[in-house]
Amino acid sequence: MRASRVAAALGARVGIAEPAKFGGTCVNVGCIPKKLFAYAAHFRDQLKEAADFGWGAGEPRFDWPTLLRNKDREIARLNGVYERVLLDAGVKIHRARAEVRGPNEVEVGGELFSARHVLVATGSWPQKPEIPGAELGITSNEAFFLEKLPRRALVVGGGYIALEFASIFNGLGVATTLAYRGARLLRGFDAELGPRLGEEMAKKGVAIRLNTDPAKLEPGLKVSFEDGSKAEFDLVMFATGRKPNTRGLGLEAARVKLAPDGAVVVDDYSKSSVDSIHAIGDVTSRINLTPVATHEGMALAKTLFGGEPTPVDHASVPTAIFANPNVASVGLSEEKAREKFSSVEVYKTSFRALKHTMGSSEEKIFMKLVVDGKTQRVVGAHMIGPEAGEIIQGIAIAVKLGATKAQFDATIGIHPTAAEEFVTLRERAG
C-alpha cells in the first residue's frame, strides 16, 4: 500500500490487486488486533494494582464478545481508511487475485495487464507442524475470531507471537501453557531476554514448558508430547513459524529466484532476479515487521519513479514484543556484538518499578546497553518492562545516530521514570 500510494504521488499509473481486506496481516490478523487484545489482557494487572493505590470497584468481570465486537469495528474502520487513501492517490483497485504471467504481464481476475514494473508484496502465512492431528489446532489467524474463550489453552512456540498470545490468553483468565521445543525462549534476541521474560510470565501464571514439543493431537484436544507426557486442552494454538506467500503466483515460470522457504530473493533495492519484478515485506523474509515493509515500499517507489535510487537500510531496526511484560530491542544483542567487535562492554540493571512498590507485585524491569569497547558507541539496547516499546523507540534514535556511552551518560534523566535508568547506568556488568 505504501509503495502504491507513493508511486502514484510521483506520477506513476498504479494498479493494486487485493481480493481480501486492505491492510494485510498487520491490520487484519496481526499488529493492530493483537495490540488491542494485549491492552485488554493487561487490564487485569492494572485493576489489581489500582487497589494498592486505594481504588476499589468490586470484582472485575471480562466479556469476550464485547472485546471482539469492538475490535472488529476498529479493523473495519481501518480497512475503509486504507481503501480511501489508495483511491485518493489515484490507484486503480482490482478486487481479485493476481498471478504473474511474465516479466511484464500480470493476470488479475482473468484479465491480462501489461506493466513496466511488477511488485510482489503478498506477505507470509502461519504454518503448522507436520504432526498427526495438527489440523485440530489453530494459528494466530484464527485466534482473532474465536467464538468464545477456552478455559485451558496450549500455545506452541517460543517466538514473539507465541509469547504475546500466551500473555493475552493468560491475562484474559485462561489457564495457559506455553510449550517450546528449545531450551530458551526468543531465539535470535539477546540471550538474556528470553529466560528473564519467561520468569516474569511464570510469575503471572503462564505454565512454561521448555524442551517440550507436541507429538500428536487427538479429538478432544488430547495432546501427547514428545517427552511422553499427556494433557488435555480446550484450544491449541501453533505459533511455529510463517512462510512467504509465493505459492501459485507464477513466479517460478517468470524465472524469479526463490529461497528454499519460498521467499523472493532481492537485492538492496528490492529487485528480484528479473529486472522488472520487485518484492518487499514479509514475502522477502528480510525483517518481517510492518514498519520495515512500509519503508521498503517507500524506498522502492523513490527508486523507480522518483529519480532517487534508495537502498533499504535494515541496520538497527527497533522492535517490540507485546507480551506481559513488554520486551523491546534495538541494535545488536550482546552475542552478535561480541562476534563483530574485539571489545564489548555491557551495562545492565534489574529493579522493581516505583509503581509496584505500593503492592505485592514482584515484576522486575530489565535494561541492558551493549557498547563497542573501542569506539564507545552504544550498539544495542534491550528492555523488559511496561511500555518497553515506547521507551526503546526513543533510544533507537540515539543508537541509529551512533551515540556513545558518554553521550548517554551526559543526558539528564527524567525522574522518577524507568527510562532514566538508560542514562544512569555506570557500572559495567561485562
Phi and psi at 154, nearest 5°, equal -115, 120
25-58 burial, b at 16+ Cβ within 10 Å, e below that, comes to bbbbbbbbbbebbbebbbebbeeebeeeeeeeee
Answer yes or no: are the C-beta atoms of 327 and 321 closer than 8 Å. yes
Answer yes or no: are the C-beta atoms of 251 and 151 closer than 8 Å. no
Answer yes or no: are the C-beta atoms of 209 and 229 closer than 8 Å. no
The per-type count for the chain, helices as H runs and strands as E runs, is 11, 21
| SS3 of residue 277 by DSSP | strand
For residue 278, the surrounding DSSP H or E stretch is strand 277-279
| SS3 of residue 306 by DSSP | coil
d(CA 215, CA 197): 26
94 in catalytic set: no
| SS3 of residue 379 by DSSP | strand
Q: Identify the CA nearest to 142 among candidates 32, 52, 42, 28.
A: 28
DSSP type of residue 384: E
Tell me the angle at which helices 160-171 and 193-203 cross, rounded to the nearest 10 degrees.
Answer: 10
Give CA separation, 195 vs 112, 158, 210, 241, in Å: 53, 11, 10, 20
d(CA 186, CA 85): 36
Name the burial class of residue 253, with classes exposed (0-12), middle (13-18) and buried (19+) by CB atoms within 10 angstroms of its CB: exposed
d(CA 239, CA 153): 13
d(CA 26, CA 198): 25
Answer yes or no: are the C-beta atoms of 218 and 225 closer than 8 Å. no
d(CA 372, CA 379): 6
Q: Please identify which residue in the block is written with the cell numbers 489515484.
A: 90
d(CA 114, CA 104): 6
Which residues are catalytic, by number? 415
